[in-house]
Structure 1
Amino acid sequence: LKTRCDCANVLSTRGCPFCCSFCTTSRMFHPYRERSVDSVIEELRYYKKLGFRYMNFEDDNFTANKKRAKEICRRMIQENLVFRETFFFGRTDMANDEEMLELCQKAHLTRALVGIESLNQKSLDAINKHQSISDIERCAEALARHKIRLIASIVLGIDTDSSEDIRCSVDFAKKINAYQLQPAVLTPFPGTAVYEQYEREHRMISKDWSIFDMMNVTFLPKNMTPWKLQKQFFKAVKRFYTFLSSFKIGKIFGANFGLRRLGLSLLIKLGVPLLYLIAAFGKNTNLYKIKHMKLEPRTCEG
């Protein structure tokens, strides 16, 4: 309780104007609405006064209204409300506004999580993402140009994705020097379009909400067994977080960031084999249940 907290969290909007089929945001926080810029700036002044050094914009899509995002960044710069680093969520379409990216860089919004989701256009269309492969590539280039570190989020288990598609998405994240990879097992949260679809198709294999964490498989995938999809999650992090990539990140963004990446790589190198052991012998665990699940041959492949 006495540990100093250096990071402030700010929610300047609620909801998202988009409606991806797997996402809870548009269901839980509909309709999309915004706080006034003055209100946001007043909160930032308070956190600066308290001595916070880092800040997160926890909006599901901070750059949804680009005019508003630019105004917030301008005010942060003008009033010296720039933190050492600020994190935000954005979409690939922010690459279309060079001025906004310049302001983000000046206001130290230098770490962005972007939903790449998949390098398969059919999959992007299937989840109602409203973005193309070229949008993803253009966004990666634009963020790198403005020294904004990209956290690439990908979804594993979309019906139109194969194991090879997942591997391509991970390799793409490595190719563009994404600072971090955030793989998420497609999780059919109640209320979402995918949950309703899987209920109709009798594809839900668990309703233990404690494992609906985007790391555990809770449904029957279309192109592979649940265990094969679970392994794709393990393989994704292992493939991305390598010791060699840590040195590359250090060279691009600085030694401090390279060391952080190295620590993550070491943790994953040690942790993934442990997860396989749990799946093999931990009889009361979800991983064990998924690995030893009996399925009819016609149900799925892999």
Structure 2
Amino acid sequence: MLKVLLIDPPRLNRITTNIPEIVDDPDGIGYYPPLGLLYIAGMAETVPGCEVKVIDATVDKLNYAQIEELMRRESPDVVGIQAMTHTLIDALETAKTAKRVNKNIHVCLGGPHISIYPEETLNFPEVDSVVMGEGEYIFADLLRAIIHGKDLSSVKGIMFKNNGKVISTGSRDLIENLDELPFPARHLTPINKYWSILSRFSPVTTIITSRGCPYKCIFCERPHLGKKFRFRSADNVVNELQAAVESGIKGFSFYDDTFTLNRNRVHDICDDVIKRKLNISWSIRARVDSVDEAMLKKLKSAGCSSIHFGVESGNPDILRVLKKDIGLDQIKSAFYWSRKLGIKTLGYFMLGNPTETRDQILETIAFAKKLNPDYIHVSLTTPFPGTQLYRMGFEKGVLKSDYWKEFACKPDKKFVPKLWEESFSEEELQKLLTHAYKSFYSQPRVILRQLLAVRSIKGLRRKFNMGIRLLFK
């Protein structure tokens, strides 16, 4: 029996992000399961001869001594580690821990960071192989090769080391039929530990019903999922919802970039949720130009309690620069309809965009307040690797070096992502970011709305602590 241990590493050495710490702190906003890793686990369980376990070191708040103890107890043959750019240091430290336990453990890393910097990651001595792209079938094939003693060069979609030499087996096509994938292996995680400040119910989980995005926003950092929009059938989606409900889950956060892109499918999913009488609360992410009042009514009737809209800017010129392809009237309508129907909204905004002036930033902050969403999430524009914005940074001289690649080769906890400092210094942008949060969340109507939404003493304590930290630090 091949013992496989999949690990979502702790966030003990996470690099800083360009949003206030409290907004990015799980203890303040909630914990979600590592969905990508659970998809890998679900597929790995279908491989004959595999015993699969998952460690979510974040929700279990494990340190490396505890992870090492777990590894010694489980004695895995293969350790798979999820790696994102901001958790790369912890992913590599987890890999080192595995090699310290047993140098013969095959350590494989996968995730968005790996898809962009596969060879740079493989150069670390503690890493034996990396998965490039969507990992479900690739990792399963890797396990089969290990079980049967096959040459790893037979596994399409990986890089591995053979006698110190890096070997790439080439890229693998994107998964066309998402209905073929097993559901995420949620039973391998502590389901009752996951919650969200945005959900009426707990425990909560994440779900994704489509992959890829046809839009061309210059800041998008998910190129590994491709531009082609691929979606699961409504029946397959609701089957997963029902299975999760039967395991005790009540709240769902849909992670699709644009859940509402296929309107007929949205209505079909809602109709089936209603037909099966699933008493759930769920949130989605959507573009403002992909919803109308009729769709929102249907979503509400099926239990959709909140929608996250990507607004980014309240200035038409900046929206054009970002290639958002949306207008202010569309934004206003989406928020108005949602508020009218009792659906909570969260608006995403970005400050410090290319060509943006101080007046335009203040215009965006004022626009956010006028929209009157329940929550806002504001970030400072950051050029991420693989994005059009990153390439623009070199063309305009805003970026002087390929600093993300430098970080990928020599990760350092002191590393700070560079902002788009075309017109402002980092200090100026940080002050504007703080102003945006404080001016929105200090509004009496926002404070009152949050208080009226509290349903428990624990919920009150969480919101109170978050508010104090947000407004006074």
TM-score by length of 2: 0.52
1:241 aligns with 441
**How far did 1:162 drift?**
1.9
Identity %: 25
Q: Which runs of 5+ in 1 are unaligned?
A: 272-302
Question: Is 1:49 aligned to 2:251, yes or no?
Answer: no
The answer to whether the 8 A contact 1:57-1:89 is kept is: yes
Alignment of 1:262-273 (within 5 A): 262-271=464-473
**How far did 1:217 drift?**
5.7
For residues 146 and 81 of structure 1, do their structure 2 counterparts lie closer, same or farther at Cα, with a shift above 3 Å needed? same
Between the aligned partners of 1:168 and 1:243, the Cα distance in structure 2 is 17
**How far did 1:189 drift?**
1.1
Alignment of 1:1-302 (within 5 A): 1=60, 4-5=193-194, 6-25=203-222, 27-30=223-226, 31-83=228-280, 85-95=281-291, 97-204=292-399, 206-207=403-404, 208=407, 218-242=418-442, 244-250=444-450, 254-256=453-455, 259=460, 262-271=464-473
Amino acid of the residue matched to residue 270 of structure 1?
Answer: F
**How far did 1:244 drift?**
2.2
Between the aligned partners of 1:263 and 1:115, the Cα distance in structure 2 is 26
CA RMSD, 1 decimal? 2.5
The answer to whether the 8 A contact 2:300-2:343 is kept is: yes
- How many residue pairs match? The answer is 264
For residues 130 and 243 of structure 1, do their structure 2 counterparts lie closer, same or farther at Cα, with a shift above 3 Å needed? closer
Between the aligned partners of 2:453 and 2:293, the Cα distance in structure 1 is 24
Amino acid of the residue matched to residue 41 of structure 1?
Answer: V
Between the aligned partners of 1:169 and 1:36, the Cα distance in structure 2 is 37
Partner SS for 1:110 = strand
The answer to whether the 8 A contact 2:235-2:272 is kept is: no
For residues 242 and 133 of structure 1, do their structure 2 counterparts lie closer, same or farther at Cα, with a shift above 3 Å needed? same
**How far did 1:126 drift?**
0.8
Q: Deviations over 1:130-163 (max 9, x none)?
A: 1011111111111111111110100111123222
Amino acid of the residue matched to residue 4 of structure 1?
Answer: K
Larger Rg: 2
For residues 128 and 203 of structure 1, do their structure 2 counterparts lie closer, same or farther at Cα, with a shift above 3 Å needed? same
Amino acid of the residue matched to residue 171 of structure 1?
Answer: A
**Greater displacement, 146-155 / 169-178:** 169-178
Between the aligned partners of 1:220 and 1:77, the Cα distance in structure 2 is 46
Between the aligned partners of 2:450 and 2:433, the Cα distance in structure 1 is 25
Q: Which runs of 5+ in 2 are unaligned?
A: 1-59, 61-189, 195-202
**How far did 1:261 drift?**
5.2
The answer to whether the 8 A contact 1:241-1:264 is kept is: no
Q: Deviations over 1:227-265 (max 9, x none)?
A: 2112222221122121624433248x6454995655432
Partner SS for 2:285 = strand
